[in-house]
Amino acid sequence: MAIREILTVPDPRLKEVSKPVEGGVTDELRTLMDDMLETMYDAPGIGLAAIQVGEPLRVIVMDLAGPDEEPQPRYFVNPEILPLTEDKAPYEEGCLSVPDVFDEVDRPTRCRVKYLDYDGNERDEVAEGMFAVCIQHEMDHLEGILFIDHLSRLKRQRAVDKVKKATRLLRSRAKSKASAA
């Protein structure tokens, strides 16, 4: 398994629409999902879409277990989502591709998710609570949409500027460290 680099805004790849996985769940795809899960745990985060590691495929990994619980890794290949209710609830979201930015997004509270799992079996589940929030956040990534796209233009611009500034600082530190060595 390998930890991969997570893309951050304004990387244009985050706006790509991801392509369906063709030919079912292969060992090669499982390797990608293993790497995504390891990358997500390392970050740490509760979900990750393949495009966040630069792979424009309709693949998501997730683990909603609490810090004192056993890990509960979940894998979603070619997920399809259907809202089950009109009522929406706000939740303070964050994203590994928009680090250190948090804001409320309104989403339907219940939805139905159809997908293939790690073994290539078809699944059909109803998502509620944190599962509903997270799967909708990840499904957005597959369409090239970030949670900040649900905010006002001003908030979105501020978020991108904040991440750009932090990334510049990190890169210049890494550079001076490399030249000192």
Residues that bind Ni ion (CB under 5 A): 95
Q: Is 33 in the site for ligand GNR (CB under 6 A)?
A: no
16, 38, 69, 138: the catalytic one is 138
What amino acid occupies position 170? L
In the structure encoding, which two tokens stand for residue 87, read together? 């009522």
- The span from the CA of 53 to the CA of 100, in Å, is 18
Site for ligand GNR, residues 97 to 116, rule: CB under 6 A: 97
Nearest distance from C-beta of residue 40 to Ni ion, angstroms: 10
Residue 114, CA distances (Å) to 54, 60, 76, 94, 111 in order: 24, 13, 9, 24, 10
What residues form DSSP beta bridges with 179? none
How many Å separate Cα 168 from the centre of its chain? 23
Q: Give the pair of three-digit tokens for residue 181.
A: 């060595």
Q: Which residue is nearest to ligand GNR (CB)?
A: 45
Name the minimum Å distance from CB 134 to ligand GNR.
5
- Any idea what the Cα angle at residue 7 is, between residues 6 and 13, rounded to 5°? 140
Residue 135 within binding range of ligand GNR, rule CB under 6 A: no
Q: Is 61 a residue that touches ligand GNR (CB under 6 A)?
A: no
In whole angstroms, what is the distance from residue 166 CA to residue 62 CA? Answer: 26
Q: Does 63 bind ligand GNR (CB under 6 A)?
A: no
- 55 in active site: no
Question: Would you count residue 79 as binding ligand GNR (CB under 6 A)?
Answer: no
Which one, 32 or 141, has the nearer CB to Ni ion? Answer: 141
DSSP label at 58? S
Choose one: 15-23, 45-53, 73-81, 166-174; the region binding ligand GNR (CB under 6 A).
45-53
Interface with ligand GNR (CB under 6 A): 45-49, 52, 93-97, 133-134, 137-138, 141
Residues involved in catalysis:
138
